[in-house]
Amino acid sequence: MTATDIGAAGAPILPEAGLRQFGEEGFTVVRGLFGYDEIDRLRERFTALHAAGPVAGHFEPRPRESDPLRVYPRVMQPHEIDELSLRVLLDPRLRGVLEVLLGEEVLAAQSMFYFKPPGARGQALHQDNFYLRVEPGTCVAAWIACDVIDRDNGGLEVVPGTHAMELFCPEVADEEVSFAREYVAPPAGLATVPVDMEPGDVLFFNGSLVHGSQPNGTQDRFRRSFIGHYVGRSAERIGAYYRTLSMRGDRVPLPESEGAGPCGSEFTPSGPH
């Protein structure tokens, strides 16, 4: 497969410029990879899942608490409890782009859904492979926008060029603005770049790329997103939390690597935020 293979709409799945940007900067956005109707269904499904209440091991909404992220916590590994989420995680359009970016067969390692309601904290700058611990190599994220996403409602920020660097030893984040404990400061001479997105756009980025988000500063706008993490078939080890699947949905177990955990270790709740 090449970067100019044709998608369903007759346009390249991943233009050459996108492949070049991914190689040089560690990320690229494929605009409109999913249709508005598909994103509407995905939002509706997670609204229904949230209304249905907790699912052990996946999410535990607590509607009586003051922290918006306790009311609308992220959903971890939703593909294990929801058929639509599994279909999105294994979508052939994602597979087409990922095989170009990774240059080999792809395995799915994780899914997540973030509600990020108004007033919610963000996630401090971090690197995904700090958590997945893919060996050798790294992971690639496919971050699907489910709302209009911009700086006001806490869109992603990336630090171009950090994908070519080693994993950093994180500092402790500011709990007032980040729900996750880990924080990686931009290396000297590098800075964050915001990535604004429309529903159905997909941001693909290298697992070593430093990225994160600010709080949702709006009063009436969610910043919902569906995220998949993927690894190349040549990966030899990954954290035990990540139960790898082929893009056909078959379980493909990999030996466990050390030091891994869920993406973003959360602060222990200490009071209202």
Q: From 3.30.390.30, 2.40.50.40, 2.60.120.620, 3.10.580.10, which CATH number describes the 20-246 domain?
A: 2.60.120.620
Rg (CA), the chain: 17
**Per-residue tokens: 64:** 């009586």
Residue type, 81: I
Beta carbons within 10 angstroms of residue 56's beta carbon: 7
Q: For 152-167, what is the mean pLDDT?
A: 98
Residue extents of the structural domains in the chain: 20-246
For residue 58, give the DSSP letter: T
- What is the value of pTM for the model shown? 0.92
Residue 63 has pLDDT above 90, yes or no: no
Distance CA 206, CA 151 (A): 22
Cβ neighbours of residue 16 under 8 Å, at least 6 residues apart?
A: 3, 4
Helix (H) or strand (E) holding 140: strand 140-145
Question: Residue 8's pLDDT is what?
Answer: 45
pLDDT band at 3 (very low <50, low <70, confident <90, very high): very low
Handedness of CA 207, 93, 102, 249 (dihedral sign): positive
pLDDT band at 35 (very low <50, low <70, confident <90, very high): very high
pLDDT band at 259 (very low <50, low <70, confident <90, very high): confident
pLDDT in tens, 191-241: 999 999 999 999 999 999 999 999 999 999 999 999 999 999 999 999 999
Question: Residue 7's pLDDT is what?
Answer: 46
